[in-house]
């Protein structure tokens, strides 16, 4: 079935350094890839997304890259700050399927050390 793998499961970086989280999806029909940030006990919040017709998207310190051939997509956070500490989930979806189901990765717990 559809599957999204996410690595690493935990990531610690020094404040100011960059963080990279990688996901791999199995369904080649997937064409939409959102990233969510979830702080402890709170709802997941969409931070950035990318569609399959684009290879890269950037929003200030956050960027996402997509390699459709390899079925990989990655989240890049530059100049990390303590408030970036949270769990990050990637997801893949096929917007043409009509179901709008998201398949989530297993999550990455990011710790930014001050």
Partner 1 sequence: GAVVSQHPSRVICKSGTSVKIECRSLDFQATTMFWYRQFPKKSLMLMATSNEGSKATYEQGVEKDKFLINHASLTLSTLTVTSAHPEDSSFYICSARDAVGNSPLHFGNGTRLTVT
Q: Which positions lie near partner 1, rule CB under 8 A? A: 32, 34, 36, 41-46, 49, 87, 89, 95, 99-107, 109
Neighbours of 27 (CB within 10 A): 16
Using an 8 Å Cβ cutoff, are 104 and 41 in contact? no
Shortest distance in whole angstroms from residue 19 CB to partner 1: 18
If we measure between CA atoms, which residue out of 96, 108, 22, 26 comes closest to residue 64?
22
Shortest distance in whole angstroms from residue 5 CB to partner 1: 11
Shortest distance in whole angstroms from residue 62 CB to partner 1: 15
Nearer to partner 1 among residue 10 and residue 81 (C-beta): 10
């Amino acid at each position: 079935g559809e599957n999204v793998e996410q690595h690493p499961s935990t990531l610690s970086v020094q404040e100011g350094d960059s963080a990279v989280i990688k996901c791999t999806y199995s369904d080649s029909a997937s064409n939409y890839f959102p990233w969510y940030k979830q702080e402890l006990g709170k709802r997941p919040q969409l931070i950035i997304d990318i569609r399959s017709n684009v290879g890269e998207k950037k929003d200030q310190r956050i960027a996402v890259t997509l390699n459709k051939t390899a079925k990989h997509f990655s989240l890049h956070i530059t100049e990390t700050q303590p408030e970036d500490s949270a769990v990050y989930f990637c997801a893949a979806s096929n917007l043409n399927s009509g179901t709008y189901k998201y398949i989530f990765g297993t999550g990455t717990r990011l710790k930014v050390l001050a």
